Amino acid sequence: MYRAAVIVWLIVLPFLISGCGPRITPEEAKVLVVLGEIQRGVESNISFEQFDQSLKTAKAEIEILEQNSKKNPCFMSAVKKCYASYGIARKAWIKKEEEKDPKRKEDMEMTLTFSLSFSALNIKKANKCYE
């Protein structure tokens, strides 16, 4: 009888422990929503003004999240990298619009594309921090 109880506990315990992992906070979920909206907007060709405004919103939400004393380091790292990539994309977008040289414009387009792709990867990484 005792042996059967130990075996049952050994089988059930991993399931109980796996369900007790960290959960995403409402603030973290809000940051992911904002970053996801930026990504979907860029993919659907939003204007620079809309992109810039969304970036300001994301920065405000990240600052709120940074004030939280119980930050998930994995999540914060991914979010900060994503935001930094969007910042690089913003600069490349501005340079691309100002540039006259076609080769330089092409370079800025490549930088923009790369930065937006890296942002998308970091959004996925942030989501995986809670799996």
Evaluate whether residue 2 is within a structural domain: no
The answer to whether the CB of 124 falls within 8 A of the CB of 75 is: no
Evaluate whether residue 93 is within a structural domain: yes
pLDDT tens digit string along 17-42?
Answer: 455 567 888 899 999 999 999 999 99
CA 12/CA 119 separation, integer angstroms: 39
Evaluate whether residue 43 is within a structural domain: yes
State mean pLDDT over 67-85: 91
Q: Is the pTM of this model over 0.85?
A: no
Q: Which domain holds residue 47?
A: 23-128
Evaluate whether residue 8 is within a structural domain: no
Evaluate whether residue 83 is within a structural domain: yes
> Around 26, how many Cα atoms within 13 Å sit in the side-chain half-sphere?
0
> What's the confidence (pLDDT) of residue 85?
96
Q: What is the mean pLDDT of the chain?
A: 86
> What's the confidence (pLDDT) of residue 7?
54
Number of domains comprising the chain: 1
> What's the confidence (pLDDT) of residue 2?
53
pLDDT tens digit string along 34-75?
Answer: 999 999 999 999 999 999 999 999 999 999 998 887 889 999
Evaluate whether residue 117 is within a structural domain: yes
Evaluate whether residue 64 is within a structural domain: yes
Is a pLDDT exceeding 80 seen at residue 11?
no
Evaluate whether residue 34 is within a structural domain: yes
